[in-house]
Structure 1
Amino acid sequence: MLQENWTIKEFIPVGFPGLTLNYYGLVSTIFFLAYLATVVGNAVLVILFLKEHSLKKPMYGIMFSLALADIGTGTVVLPKIIAKYWFNDETIPFHACFMQMEMIHYFVTVNIFTLVLMALDLYLAMCNPLRYPVMMTHRITFALNITGWLGSFILTTVVTVQAYQLPYCGPNCIIQCYCEQNSITEQACADSGYQQLVAFTLAITVLLGSLTFIIYTYTHIIVCVMRVSSSHGRWKTFSTCSTQLCIIAVFYLPRCGVYICNMFRIYQLPDLHIFLIVFYTLFPPFINPLMYFFRNKQISHAVDKKLQI
């Protein structure tokens, strides 16, 4: 049973420590436009996946799940950052901070599981095309998506509950733009080493485990592609893979860089460290719709058709 063993009532996300007041308006405007583009872009994808008959395929069901998670990520993170720099609203209530922490890690974990499903879907389509219609039906992809969402909730709830049980008696300033697990547990007035170890272990396991699987599947995909006799066929297949590879690279590379720096205790300037975390949290949801609109012919064709009506 959880005990209310804290004395502070709110947290104060510091944001970027080196940012002066003169740039608050510019920063808040940038974040607002990024939020608007993230929500609108992914919402358009969601509507297209629901309404357009040509997109009623298992692979687009996985993309639908990714778009929902991207909307969730942006909505949980960005409004509070915008409020801080636009309206000077710096505080966040204690319980709301833990709710934000739970939801941020939840949607990011859903993203990871969804990228794994995308890699699996492409692997089966490229390497086992005859078995693909049997192995990736609508029912199976729906079950896999639901498993990813439920599994993500369980993992992130474990981390959140452990952090919530720690006593917090000050200081209440978070060196971060939002309520992130490490920045919160560092404020506990008790030894949080165990909680941080559990969170780090789960994060590394999910991150590296999923990345290992993705690398494995794409290695087999590349081998299958190289067996295609026609250079035109190889180019067409690589073009199909390029969108997902770009999305995966944008999602994983900055994260791995930050985790490596933390693991080996490589010093980073606070503003740079916070920027990298904000970047790898918010840039993928922003860029994913653009990648699909410009790189996926079926989605771009569906958008053109809707615009002509």
Structure 2
Amino acid sequence: MSGSNTTNFTNSSIFILLGIPGLESVYVWISIPFCTMYIIAVLGNFTILFIVKKETSLHGPMYYFLCMLAVTDMVLPTSILPKTLAIFWFNSREIDFSACLTQLYFIHCFSVMESGIFVAMAFDRYVAICHPLRHSTILTNHVVSLIGVAIALRGGVLVMVHPLLARSRPYCRTNIIPHSFCEHMAVVKLACADIRVSSYYGLFVVFCVLGLDVFFISVSYSQILRAIFSLPTKDARLKTFGTCSSHLCSILAFYIPAIFSSLMYRFGQNVALHFHILIANMYLLLPPMLNPIIYGARTKQIRGSLLQLFTYKRT
């Protein structure tokens, strides 16, 4: 390991991922819940995609956005877990510089895309509840497709700056990344040059992109709640609010650890490193695992289709 902690290496060099420093003795035990969450995430989101494709009654804006979310939730954990498990099981810590930047790009690109999908889903709920008679004319298949393209372009273009800035920096201090994957700030902090542009741009993405997304979601739900409370009966209010409960649970599962992890990495110098890395991994593993469970359990149409699927197989 001492040979890796050297100076004068180039951008074509190999980086060393430390994994979770301080918890090396329990890597095998940590890998068990990590694997479990990943398997549930992949199988659960694949099931969502299969059910929506199979059931023509689910071919609508809400479920199209849910399919976008499912694809994102399969890519995000897949971008980190294979390498993390290679560290845990085989002590395979080396990663090529280009592969590191590719992993960095996928992590942050699909995180921004997932945030955009939640905004689109909030807009869908707003139109469905506040303007139900115009829902089919406002959110046509063409409009949903344009929203999906805009979400993908926003994530792809905004995050492309991260690896471009990282590649332009000289790296001459150390090639050891104290993390289990190539997180943006963990990589650029290794550069022997001024990284303020990368740091400021990262904060711009966090506060302006995610912050604006949270703002738009909040505005949508303020209008939704106003419409719900204007309904005449308690049963009607509960039933209407129930159509939003899955979305709200997924939002909380995504944004709380995302914002906490990002801020902790920049300002939480007194937080134990292994705790931060665990939180960062949970942020990329937990929401993809929870989303299909939340939507499968709380969405009547998906739950019914899933029960019909299993019933049909048994018969």
Interval of TM-score (by shorter of Structure 1 and Structure 2): over 0.9
Query: 1:247 & 1:217 partners in 2: Cα distance?
Result: 16
Task: Check the 8 A contact 1:61/1:142 in 2, yes or no.
Answer: no
1:20 to 2, 19, 24: 24
Matched, 1:36 2:33: no
* Equivalent position amino acid for 1:239 in 2: G
Residue 123 of structure 1 contacts residue 217 of structure 1 at CA under 8 Å; is this kept in 2?
Answer: yes
What is the identity, as a one-letter code, of the residue corresponding to 2:23? L
Could you tell me how far apart the structure 2 residues matched to 1:263 and 1:31 are?
A: 25
User: In structure 2, the residue corresponding to 1:191 is in which secondary structure?
Assistant: coil
Q: Determine if contact 1:45/1:64 at 8 Å carries over to the other structure.
A: yes
Q: Distance in 2 between matches of 1:243 and 1:72?
A: 21
Q: Which residue of 1 aligns with 2:68?
A: 65
Structure 2: gaps spanning 5 or more residues:
1-8
SS at match of 1:11: strand
Whether contact under 8 Å (1:166, 1:190) holds in the other structure is: yes
Which runs of structure 1 show a deviation greater than 6 angstroms over 4 or more consecutive aligned residues? none
Match for residue 55 of structure 1?
A: 58
Moved more, 248-257 or 260-269: 260-269
1:1-309 matched pairs, under 5 angstroms = 6=10, 9-21=13-25, 23-261=26-264, 267-309=270-312
- What secondary structure does 2:133 align onto? coil
| Cα distance, 1:95 vs structure 2 | 0.7
Distance in structure 1 (CA, Å) of the matches to 2:57 and 2:250? 23
Deviation at 1:216, TM superposition (A): 1.0
Per-residue CA distance 1:37-95 (angstroms, 9 max, x = gap): 11111111111122211211111000000000110101111111111101221111111
Between the aligned partners of 1:49 and 1:106, the Cα distance in structure 2 is 25
Cα drift, residue 8 of structure 1 = 6.0
User: Aligned letter for 2:258?
Assistant: R
State how far apart, in whole Å, the 1-side matches of 2:44 and 2:268 are. 37
2:221 aligns to what SS in structure 1? helix
Q: 2:5 maps to which residue? A: none
How many residues align? The count is 304
Matched letter for residue 51 of structure 1: K
> Cα RMSD over matched residues?
1.6
Please state how far the C-alpha of 1:259 moved relative to its aligned partner. Answer: 4.0
Please give the TM-score of this superposition, normalised by the length of structure 2.
0.92
Q: Gapped runs of 5+ residues in structure 1?
A: none
- Alignment partners' CA distance in 2, 1:162 and 1:84: 27
Counterpart-to-counterpart distance in 2, 1:57 and 1:216: 23
Q: Structure 2: which amino acid aligns with 1:18?
A: G
TM-score by length of structure 1 reads: 0.94
Paired letter, 2:159: T
2-side partners of 1:263 and 1:100: how far apart?
A: 20
Q: Is the 8 A contact 2:265 2:276 kept in 1?
A: no
1:8 and 1:170 in contact (8 A); partners too: no
Identity of aligned residues (%): 32
Q: Which amino acid aligns with 1:20?
A: E
SS in 2 for 1:130: helix
